[in-house]
Homo-oligomer: A and B are copies of this chain.
Amino acid sequence: MSGIVVQNISRAAREVTEGLAKCGVATVHEAQGRTGLLSHHMRPIFPGARVAGSAVTIAAPPGDNWMVHVAIEQLQEGDILVLAPTSPCVDAYFGDLLATSVRARGCRGLVIEAGVRDVRDLTAMQFPVWSKAVFAQGTVKATLGSVNVPIVCDGALINPGDIIVADDDGVCVVPRANAAQVLEKAQAREAEEEVKRKRLAAGELSLDIYDMRSTLAARGLKYV
């Protein structure tokens, strides 16, 4: 089942991924019904990045980054590389040399359920990575994996071409078919939140804005 590179994958429109990036992970995740979130173990190597792009996926053996080299050739402008090891691993599949290479191909970031190194250089380059670990341990190039096959990465199913949204809150995947609709909902949600933010900033209570008092009383909440 490994040893496969899928070359032609469909991608979402650039304006859709850019719109999703602006909304951010928390809003996109809510907008698609609280699905598609990777776990809280996936952390950015530096704060402040917010990106979205089409997933080029890698299923890689533990401690072996051969398939990263293979995947780079499949990258296009606006893509995000996503790697899941085939068993738990914290080795660094990726560092500043590979970041230089993928950036030259237009790649906007890396999501990896494993380790990464050269984070000082990656930070200087402002190349964003979301990873499970920072670890200097390198890898070998001895065993095949696959590129652009469906993977489960840190608890989420990711198909090649799905949209990855990532920021300081973590990483979320949006199935490509739903992306435009999710963007619409996310933007509507943002507009609504803007209104609420002003009311809350002015001192109104969410208890009143959302009219929760009667329901709370009905459930038996007692003030003492």
Contact = CB atoms under 8 A, between A and B. Distances in A.
Interface of A: 1-7, 24-26, 29-30, 32-35, 37, 39-40, 43, 46-48, 50, 61-64, 66, 69-70, 72-73, 86-92, 95-98, 100-101, 103-105, 115, 117-120, 123, 133-138, 140-144, 150, 152, 155-157, 167-170, 172, 193, 196-197, 200-203, 205-207, 210, 212, 216, 219-224
B62 A97 contact: no
B6 A224 contact: yes
A140 B5 CA distance: 21
A63 B62 CA distance: 6
Given A1-B35, A63-B63, A134 B43 contact: yes
A57 to B, nearest CB: 13
Contact of A73 (B69, B133, B205): B205
A50 B202 CA distance: 26
Nearest to A69: B206
A223 B135 CA distance: 31
Given A26-B117, A136-B169, A144-B216, A70 B221 contact: yes
A45 to B, nearest CB: 8
Given A40-B135, A101-B206, A136-B170, 7 more contacts: A24-B118, A47-B119, A50-B120, A66-B216, A101-B201, A120-B169, A140-B143
Contacts of A150: 157
Contacts of A92: 26, 169
Contact of A5 (B103, B115, B221): B221
28 contacts: A1-B34, A3-B219, A5-B224, A7-B223, A24-B118, A26-B118, A29-B136, A37-B136, A40-B90, A69-B205, A70-B207, A72-B205, A73-B205, A87-B89, A87-B91, A88-B90, A92-B169, A97-B196, A101-B200, A101-B206, A104-B202, A117-B169, A118-B169, A119-B169, A120-B168, A142-B142, A142-B143, A144-B220
